[in-house]
Structure 1
Amino acid sequence: MKFVSEIDPDPYRLEKFIADGNPVVIRHAVFQETPFRKVLEDKNFLLAVIEEFLGDLEVPCVQVDGTCFTLMGFDNSHRKTLPKTKQVTLLRLRNYLENLSGCENGKSNSVHYVHIRDAGSLSSGFRSISANQKLLKPYVGLGPLNAWIGSGGHRVNTHFDKPENLYWVLCGQKIFQVFSPDMGKWLYPARAGVTTSGVTESIVNSAQPDIKKFPLYSKALQHAEIAVLDKGDLLYLPANWWHNVESKGLNISCNLWWERSSSKSNE
């Protein structure tokens, strides 16, 4: 098993990896210089602060049927290949957070998560507690600051995003399995027009890949890299890199997507 390269929380070294288009993990990156360090280190306090800043938002809650699922919405030809998302419900975030606490306390067996798009622009307070640090300041403002909150126990299937991606964990654990763009030929991408979001996704169930049915997938697995992100860790994932993401435990994460043409190194 190969792991993604790791570096110390040095903005100049991070900039070099971004310029070269290579993924990298920075341990303990998030809690280095934030004035809200105590908030971020206390999970319950963090949830309370998020509720204060964003609690009145209506957000789509994805409830998962199975441990591996797709966000993209396949047509009938792939329904037997990948489990389907069970339900998407619009909820106020404060109500979702109540459900999340119940799930953690053993009062619910459901697996679910929410994605708050552009949370940074919706609340300056949330932006301050999640991204107010020297390492991230050159990139905040280049694209949307998103929040991801979930119960854990699921995996988002293998896909790639076109923008550059900085992803960091405030609570819980995320495990990324990443593949370079040239491995797409081994990952069985869905044919054009099959997904409804414009994101290209593999039709292979990454939680339980059927190697007999998809033999080339084993080649991709041989060259895959793993990034295990715990609280405070950050991953830079270059544009067009394939990845699937496993969530463990109650988890809160943020990410920044931006186009390389808008990055400081390409002005």
Structure 2
Amino acid sequence: MTTPVPERGAITPEDFREVLQSCRPVVLRGQVRDWPAVKAGLTSAGAFRDYLLQFDRGLEMEAFFGDRSIQGKYYYGETFSGFNFKREQMRFAAAVDAVIENLGRPESPSVYAGSIPLDSYLPGFTQDNPMPLASGVEPRIWVGHESNVSCHYDAMENIACIAAGRRRFTLYPPELIGKMYIGPIDRTMAGQPVSLAASGPSDPSLYPDFEPYRDSAFVAELEPGDALFLPKLWWHQVEGTEPFNVLINYWWDAFRLGPDAPYTAMLLAMIAISERPPQERAAWRAWFDHYVFRGEGHPLRHLPADEHGLLGPLKPDNYGRLRAYVMHLLRGGQ
């Protein structure tokens, strides 16, 4: 049985620090209800278009076009090398017009334009529609008809805000990764690999390990003006449930100390460790647990803090020192 995502009302940046530290999804009801964009969307799709395109710079982007028979489910084709939609390069305004013009026309294609950086394409929108919880983060816009974005994860924190229409988020926690039956990581619909099991109808013969968890998802139903905080690595399927839907989202790494991302470190570990003998992999797992995940505390907790050297606090100096040492090793140093 699905569980509603916990909810709060609109919060301040000070309150948001607690939400961040929890690393758990939270619905923020009415967080952006005062945005001019939200008010325009509540008037009509045409009013939202007119509001939005006053900021338009005329830049080109990529839009998805699919037959209405796919019901907004942009997905793989018959094999993982193809897809059930086509991509078209066009100006942003033309993509928005295509969405508006095809509303209520069952014979017309389904249109979806997503992940468009607002400060680049629509300068001024961010200032008119501020998000103090993610100050300094460039938002992105997603515009389309009814849609069903396959279950995937992001390697950054996310605040997803409903500017028009309604969306349903279906979430699974990161620790279910081994049950999700993940598709190719280098042939994807829009960048991130997807869960094949959670993205389609129930099929115990194909995805038996996922079936016990299918109905234990967390679900958030969002209306105009609502927002969802989604921590990194949470699996999420996103459905646009109205004929016209607009989402504004903010991606950033809330705990970043420097330029290096955990996902990059994982890929490097895959190269270095994943095909070694099982016993050696088990040994390296113990070392990662000790030095990286630190379930038993700091690895040098038996020494005075001023004797921790490179394993002392990463800031202000050890991050740079460790990074320089890693780069030296990657270049073949000893």
Match of 1:21 in 2: 23
The amino acid of 1:69's aligned partner reads Y
Which structure 2 residue ranges, 5 or more long, are not aligned? Answer: 258-314, 316-334
Q: Distance in 2 between matches of 1:15 and 1:227?
A: 21
**Deviation at 1:196?**
8.1
Deviation (angstroms), 1:137: 1.3
Provide the residue aligned with 1:61 in structure 2. Answer: 63
Query: Which residue, 180, 191, 198 being the options, matches 1:187?
Result: 180
8 Å contact from structure 2 (residues 165, 245) kept in 1? yes
Cα deviation per residue 1:114-161 (whole Å; 9 max; x = unaligned)?
Answer: 0243213443321133x32xxx314131x3310000011x21111101
Q: Deviations over 1:17-36 (max 9, x none)?
A: 2111010001121124x467
Q: Is the 8 A contact 2:110 2:145 kept in 1?
A: yes
1:196-231: CA deviation from partner (whole Å, max 9, x where unpaired): 865232123624232221112222223210011111
Supply the distance in 2 between the matched residues of 1:15 and 1:211 (Cα, whole angstroms).
Answer: 41
The letter for the 2-side match of 1:7 is R
Looking at secondary structure, tell me which structure has more strand per residue: 1
Query: Is it true that 1:51 corresponds to 2:53 in the alignment?
Result: yes
The answer to whether the 8 Å contact 1:168/1:253 transfers is yes
Task: Kindly indicate whether structure 1 or structure 2 has the higher relative contact order, using CA contacts under 8 Å at least 6 residues apart.
Answer: 1
Give the corresponding residue for 1:110. Answer: 109
Residue 49 of structure 2 contacts residue 96 of structure 2 at CA under 8 Å; is this kept in 1?
Answer: yes
Structure 1 residue runs without a partner (length 5+): none
- Higher CA-based Rg: 2
**SS of 1:253's equivalent?**
strand
The answer to which structure has the higher helix fraction is: 2
What SS does structure 2 have at the residue aligned with 1:95? helix
Q: Which residue of 1 aligns with 2:252?
A: 258
What is the deviation of 1:8? 1.1
Q: 1:214 aligns with which of 207, 218, 225?
A: 207
Question: How far, CA to CA, are the matches of 2:120 and 2:253 in structure 1?
Answer: 18
Instruction: Give the secondary structure class of the aligned counterpart of 1:158.
Output: strand
Cross-structure match for 2:287: none
- Does the 8 Å CA contact 1:62/1:85 hold for their aligned counterparts? no
Give the aligned partner of residue 142 of structure 2. 148
Structure 1 stretch 198-207 or stretch 21-30: which is displaced more? 198-207
CA distance in 1, matches of 2:36, 2:109: 35
Q: TM-score, normalised by structure 2?
A: 0.67
CA distance in 2, matches of 1:106, 1:197: 26
1:39–1:259 Cα change, 3 Å: same
1:7 positional shift: 0.4
Aligned to 2:309: none
CA contact (8 A) 1:100 1:150 kept: yes
C-alpha spacing 1:58/1:107, structure 2 compared with 1 (3 Å): farther
SS at match of 2:211: helix
In structure 2, the partner of 1:139 is 134
Is the CA contact 2:56–2:123 (under 8 Å) kept in the aligned structure 1? no
Q: Distance in 2 between matches of 1:87 and 1:99?
A: 14
Which deviates further from its counterpart, 223-232 or 187-196? Answer: 187-196
CA contact (8 A) 2:30 2:225 kept: yes
Equivalent of residue 204 in structure 1, options 151, 172, 197: 197
Q: Residue in 2 aligned with 1:125?
A: 124
Distance 1:193 1:103, change over 3 A: closer
8 Å CA contact 2:64, 2:85 repeated in 1: yes
Q: Relative to 1, partners in 2 of residues 1:110 and 1:4: Cα closer, same or farther, differing over 3 Å?
A: same
Among the aligned pairs, what percent are the same residue?
A: 21
CA RMSD of aligned residues (A): 2.7
